[in-house]
Amino acid sequence: MIISDFRSDTVTRPTQEMYEAIQKAPLGDDVLGDDHTVIELEKLSAEITGFDAALFVPSGTMGNAIAVRVWTRDGSEVILEEMAHIYTSEVGHIAYISRAIPRPLRSDRGVINPDDLRKAIRKEDLQRCATSLVCLENTHNYWGGKALRPDYVAEIKNICTENNLPLHMDGARIFNACIFLKVDVKEFTKNLDSLMFCLSKGLSAPVGSMLCGSKAFIEQARRIRKLLGGGMRQAGILAACGIVSIKKMVERLEDDHKNAKKLAEGLSQLPFIRINPDDVETNIVIVETTENPQEILNFLASNGILALQFGPGRIRFVTHKDVDETDVDRALEVLKKFKHFN
C-alpha cells in the first residue's frame, strides 16, 4: 500500500545527498571540541542567522530547555503564548529543569497583544515572582503554522529592552516563516537574544536542532547541554545532514506551502470539515470536524493516509518534502469517500 504520511514534517527521510555527506564527513569528538563537521555546522548556523555562535543539540525541546535555563533564575517567570509548544508540549521543562514558572498569555492566533505583554511583566518584590524571559514561537504549531512578522518581533523586543528582559524564539520552523514572508532570517534574529531552529522538520535532516546566540550565551548553553546528557561524540555523522539541510533544503519549503494551501482548499469543501484556507500560511493545516476525529483518522489510515488528532475535534495535516501534490489529491479523494460524506 502507498503511504502518504501527513502526521508531521518530522517524518521526512534524509536526501541522497545527506547519505553521501554522512559517508564523507570528517569526524572527531564533539564533547572534546574537535568534530570538524559539527564545527562547520555550528559556524554555518551562526552565519546564516547573524548570531556570534551556535550549538548543535539533539532536539528542539532540548534547545529550548537549554535557552530557558540560561536566561532564567530559580522562581522567576517566563512569559509565553498560552498554546506555545514550550508550554504545552515539552514535558514541563520550564518548571522541572529551570525551576521557573510559566506565565501564559492569550493571543490572536499566536500573536500576543503587546499591551497584554506590558501588563504581564512583573518586577521582583517580597510577594511576586519577577519576569526573567519572554518567548515567542515562529511559526506557531498550534495555530496552524502562523508566521509572526518581523515588525511584530521588533515591537516585542522593544518591550523586552525597556524591561531589561531577553527574548528567545522557538523557531523550530523559522525558515517556513522566512519563505512565506519572503524575508531573510536576520530580519527576525536582529531582534532576538537567542533562537532555536530545527533541522529535522521541513529541512529534512534525520536528527538535530541548532541553538544560536552570543558567544557567552553559547558557552553557558554548551555546559547545560552536557548536564542534560546532550553531549555527543562522533556527532558529525548527524551534523553532515544538517549542513545539507541549511544549504539545500530551505528554498524548497515553498513547495510545502503550496501543497498545504491546496489541501486546505480541498478540505474546506467537505461538509464535516471546518477550515478557512486563508488562515493557512505555511505547511500546517489544522481542521475542526463535526465527526469523531479518530474515526476519520482510522478511515484515512486504512487507505494509506496518515494524519494526527490535534486536540478535541481537531485533526492536523503537515506537508513536507516526502508528500507531494499527488499525495494531497489522494488524501482529498479518500476523504470524499468517508462514510458521512453525502
What is the distance between the alpha carbons of residues 337 and 328, in angstroms, rounded to a whole number? 15
Domain architecture of the chain: domains with CATH: 12-247 (3.40.640.10), 252-336 (3.90.1150.10)
pLDDT attached to residue 1: 77
User: What are the tens digits of pLDDT across the range 284-332?
Assistant: 999 999 999 999 999 999 999 999 999 999 999 999 999 999 999 999 9
Question: Which residues fall within 8 angstroms of residue 164, CB to CB, at 6 or more apart?
Answer: none
User: What are the tens digits of pLDDT across the range 141-159?
Assistant: 999 999 999 999 999 999 9
pLDDT attached to residue 125: 85
Give the mean model confidence (pLDDT) for residues 54-61: 98
The pTM (predicted TM-score) of the whole model is 0.96
pLDDT attached to residue 341: 54
User: What are the tens digits of pLDDT across the range 203-249?
Assistant: 999 999 999 999 999 999 999 999 999 999 999 999 999 999 999 99
In sequence order, what E strands does 203-335 have?
Answer: 209-213, 273-274, 284-289, 305-306, 308-309, 314-318
User: What are the tens digits of pLDDT across the range 170-186?
Assistant: 999 999 999 999 999 99
63 HSE (CA, 13 A, CB side): 28
User: What are the tens digits of pLDDT across the range 113-141?
Assistant: 999 999 999 998 888 899 999 999 999 99
pLDDT attached to residue 340: 58
pLDDT attached to residue 342: 47
Share of the chain above pLDDT 70, in %: 99
